[in-house]
Structure 1
Amino acid sequence: MLWVKSLHIVFVASWFAGLFYLPRIFVNLAMVAPQSLAERERLLLMARKLLRFSTLLAVPAVLLGLWLWLGYGIGRAPAGNGWLHAKLVVVLLVIGYHHACARLLRQFEANRNTHSHVWFRWFNEIPVILLLLAVVLVVVKPF
């Protein structure tokens, strides 16, 4: 089970690397001048490839997490697993953030972005907060 846990951590860390960088590409896309078509297309290509790669990392991260959940029998104990329920909520929020990034990329591709580069800079902080919450919940197990 330690191998599964190790792989889970590696895939989660790699997935988050993509979630940290993709909105930075969105910042650059939001700042690109309308006449800079080549730069815009290059950034869109980078964003598409990063989203695809991040999705390929997210799938094993989630599947290995489910394997750990089932393997350790978490959820069977009558008390002391509140941290796990909270972490599952955080995982759902991370998956939602991933989908939001995909939606934002589709808006950029359709030339329908309505957000400023400042908005994307703030949006970029969300995965940092979610990762912090997940790590604290798993390590500290506050409830």
Structure 2
Amino acid sequence: MSAFRWLLGALTLTLLAPSVEAWSEGYLSGAELTRLYNSGVFEAERMKQPLGSSSSMVGPFSHSGVRVTLADGSRWLIHKGQNFGISSQTVVVDARHMSSDWRVVKVRDFQGRKTVGDFVATGGSNYNFLFDNCHWASIRMMDQ
């Protein structure tokens, strides 16, 4: 069973490569992507931002995700949306690209016990506006 999970994880990492931005610019290579997905998460912050020009952050008028901090101090936003990724609708982007509209809703210390890959898997690969959207995904990620 663990060999199957390893193969499934490796396949997922390979397919998600185009949706993860690099530390500097462009996209991560296979080795860099694997290192990122295997990195332990030390702090996770559930975050919300208003959609469009709205100042409201209620329900469908907002977008949510989880910003994670790794041991090296780097921060990454893991969030979900329709057509966000290629093989998965939960994607990872460098948090330096986040606008100032994002607000922290909840903070949790994971002490490196979960990896970035765990967060992406918990976010889920499919998107459904009512039953598996960014809000449900970010709640699941924080509760894992």
Q: TM-score, normalised by structure 2?
A: 0.26
Q: Which has the higher helix share?
A: 1
Relative contact order (C-alpha < 8 Å, sep 6+): which is higher?
Answer: 1
Q: TM-score, normalised by structure 1?
A: 0.26
Q: Which has the higher strand share?
A: 2
